[in-house]
Amino acid sequence: MKFFVDTADVKEIRELNEIGLLDGVTTNPSLIMKSGRSIKEVTKEICDIVEGPVSAEVTALDYEGMMKEADILSKIADNICIKVPLTFDGLKACKAITGDGRKVNVTLCFSANQALLAAKAGATFISPFIGRLDDLAIDGMELIADIRTIYNNYGFQTEILAASIRTVNHVREAALIGADVATVPPATLKALVKHTLTDKGIEAFMADWAKTGQSIA
């Protein structure tokens, strides 16, 4: 599974990238707002840090506006992935943009039918939102499973990018089902390393080591 980090916080991105954990980054208008910076400026800096795709989202809702914004965003860096909403205009833009050889992330997916349409339109990534479905007492993982089955049935190359991930269990379940990518908030990505038995084991080893009176250095 590939790991993308869902943030526009350059400090967090740089730290995770240096560890070798990042395959890409996803941003959206809300994350850009939180950064307090210009979308072009912060996105360019992110693209300079990460080699993989960096999703930058259009804000226009009509086809012509999306295409105009996509052209502007694409010029920021070679690894920009244009993010469009799952609407008819968004699918039309997706078809045109991928037709030009550029990557597209179709976002705000909440049904398998929507995911099927995105794949037909040539989406590079489809972003089903797990957490927001869970908020409505709908199992978001069932959507991931349905999309995986449909894509496997017909050989679609669109990658399933599990989004709106809020817990470490979301990551585990998405990986077991076969999502290609998980885009994860920095705190959740860091939490994947944690386990109480690991902490207890380190504590016991350190206590025993202290009793030896030795030093490796």
Which are the catalytic amino acids?
A: 83
Q: Residue 155's Cα: distance from chain center in Å?
A: 22
* Antiparallel, parallel or unpaired: β 54-57 and 80-85: parallel
Q: Where are the beta strands (DSSP E) in 70-205?
A: 80-85, 103-109, 125-128, 159-162, 181-184
* Assigned token pair, 135: 């908020």
Residue pair 107/127 in contact by the 8 Å Cβ criterion: yes
Tell me the C-alpha distance between 98 and 7, whole Å. 24
Q: Residue 125's Cα: distance from chain center in Å?
A: 9
Tell which residue, 91, 10, 14, 100, has the closest CA to residue 58.
Answer: 91
Tell which residue, 127, 118, 78, has the closest CA to residue 101.
Answer: 78
